Amino acid sequence: MSEILLIEPYEFLANEYRGNNKYAIYAEKSIAYWSAGARQTVVIAYPGAIPADLDIDDIKARIHWTMPLWFRWMGQADRYEDFQHSCLLFVVCLAQEMRTLGVKSVVFFTGVAHHIEYSLIEVACQIAGAQQIYLYPMPFFASPSRLLPVVQHASIRDRSILAVGVSDKQVRDEVIAYRDNHLAARPPQLNEKIDRTATSYGYALARVAIFGAKAIAKAISRKNAGVVRHPIDERKDYDALSILRIVRQQKRALEYYLRSMIDEAAVDRLIEAEGSLPILYAHYQPEASTFPEGGDYPTHLDVVIAMRKLGYRGKILYKEHPGSWIYYSQVVGFSRVGLCRSIEYYRQLAALGCVFVPPTYKLSEARGQKLLPVTVTGSIGVERSMVGLATCCAGLPWFRGAPGIYDLAGTFGEAGVFYDQRRWQFEPMEGVEWFDRTLSMNTINNYPGIGTGVSSGSATDKAEFLSDFAELMTQLDNHLAA
């Protein structure tokens, strides 16, 4: 019985668990496990049979729910139907093998399933009844950063912090430093730095040209011609012309936003005339923070529509994320913001009563008396919780349950916090205490650089990571044995 399945672990980590019959390792569309001292390998492809107890419609619905990931990573919509069937059969096969092996816990070396293959593995886990463990990068630590194990079962909707004690790391100092950094009006240390190259339209066009030239050269040379790929890897990304269209749409949309927004003085006059207003802090998109972490509200339009359905009738201020002006960065390549921003997108928001404000608009103390921030899962919720201020988080942030964090219904529904300004503030130290209590002894060293892409390279950090991870595995093993 291989009760714990590790999803594409780092090679140095995999070496620690190979040969242990309690563990199995998923890599390159196959599962390796050990029985009687011998390695066994199962390729995950198409199933030979479909078990009668599988609810195929449920599996299809779960796959369909991940469609925003397809829009982000796949450029050939005409292949979606065929690819969806490949995904269905992949999930069925993987779920069957997990059942056969007796897998109870699956560990992902990422914060959330925000790529297509991992989203399919997640669905297979849910069908097989295996809990999913993710290692979520924390915003409070510079180098080395820390990871918070989170667990989910039926879906991301039931995600919670896995507070089982995996290290001796106390976090109070880092939490207070994070709060003080916010009070000093400085950006979080881990935020990506936006430079002129990243926001240059001309540079983006040059990158598109390079991308297209490489694709042509590859086609002429017939590189990888005849290579048989796994059906899940047959999906095609956007080609150069599609990327060009996305970049152009992004530029036109943001120009429209800047033309349509009102200046800061006009915003303040509107607040004076209207009284209390919500201000929607838009996310940089496409990003995991809105899908899958947004849950039922993966777009800002979904959030605004929900606010209207709950009965809110006033104006809604909309503040665009500065990252929306990134066309190409060294971290993610083409930002693909044009997939989520268009002139029509802004027209739809305006029709629903949104008023666009400058992306540099600051929530001063005076403005904060009249404005309640709304986000999907943004870090503004963490920052405000630590200083005793309420925030509406429409999605499913990892910090659900922190003081001052309200969902849409709790904010704009009957007797919602928005309508009672006395509830906008609370004892400032409550948030600090919550994050200290929740995270201390529950995070592990992020030696591999999950979420940052950069390993610390320190032998000390590596040893600490291995020790912390081993303790996490011990706690999982104890839980499974209980």
Whether residue 181 lies inside any domain: the answer is no
pLDDT (tens place) for every residue of the chain, 482 residues total: 789 999 999 999 999 999 999 999 999 999 999 998 899 999 999 998 999 999 999 999 999 999 999 999 998 888 889 999 999 999 999 999 999 999 999 999 999 999 999 999 999 999 999 999 999 999 998 778 999 999 999 999 999 999 999 999 999 999 999 999 988 888 776 666 678 899 999 999 999 999 999 999 988 887 666 677 888 888 889 999 999 999 999 999 999 999 999 999 999 999 999 999 999 999 999 999 999 999 999 999 999 999 999 999 999 999 999 999 999 998 889 999 999 999 999 999 999 999 999 999 999 888 989 999 999 999 999 999 999 999 999 999 999 999 999 999 999 999 999 999 999 999 999 999 999 999 999 999 999 999 888 888 899 999 999 999 999 999 998 876 65
Burial of 172 (0-12, 13-18, 19+ CB in 10 A): middle
264 and 154 within one domain: no
Whether residue 196 lies inside any domain: the answer is no
Within a 10 A sphere around the Cβ of 416, how many other Cβ atoms? 20
CA–CA distance, 416 with 410 (Å, rounded to integer): 5
Extended beta strands in 227-353, E state: 277-281, 316-319, 328-329, 333-334
The residues with which 149 forms a beta bridge, in sequence order, are 135
Model pTM?
0.94
Written as six digits, the tokens of 387 are 């200083």
Whether residue 380 lies inside any domain: the answer is yes
Whether residue 465 lies inside any domain: the answer is yes
CA–CA distance, 16 with 115 (Å, rounded to integer): 26
The residues with which 457 forms a beta bridge, in sequence order, are none
212 and 126 within one domain: no
Amino acid residing at 456: S
CA–CA distance, 348 with 269 (Å, rounded to integer): 24
206 and 130 within one domain: no
**Is residue 383 within 8 Å of residue 419, measured between CB atoms?**
no
Burial of 323 (0-12, 13-18, 19+ CB in 10 A): buried
269 and 400 within one domain: yes
Amino acid residing at 152: Q
Q: At what angle do helices 343-351 and 300-309 cross, to 10 degrees?
A: 10
362 and 456 within one domain: no
Q: How many structural domains is the chain composed of? A: 2
291 and 222 within one domain: yes
Whether residue 257 lies inside any domain: the answer is yes
Q: Which residue has the tokens 């195929």?
A: 56
Whether residue 182 lies inside any domain: the answer is no
471 and 361 within one domain: no
Whether residue 251 lies inside any domain: the answer is yes
Residue 205 belongs to domain spanning = 201-435
52 and 152 within one domain: yes
CA–CA distance, 435 with 384 (Å, rounded to integer): 12
341 and 206 within one domain: yes
> In the prediction, which pLDDT does 480 show?
67
SS3 of residue 391 by DSSP: strand
225 and 334 within one domain: yes
SS3 of residue 450 by DSSP: coil
CA–CA distance, 55 with 103 (Å, rounded to integer): 19
303 and 251 within one domain: yes
CA–CA distance, 433 with 425 (Å, rounded to integer): 16
469 and 413 within one domain: no
Whether residue 383 lies inside any domain: the answer is yes
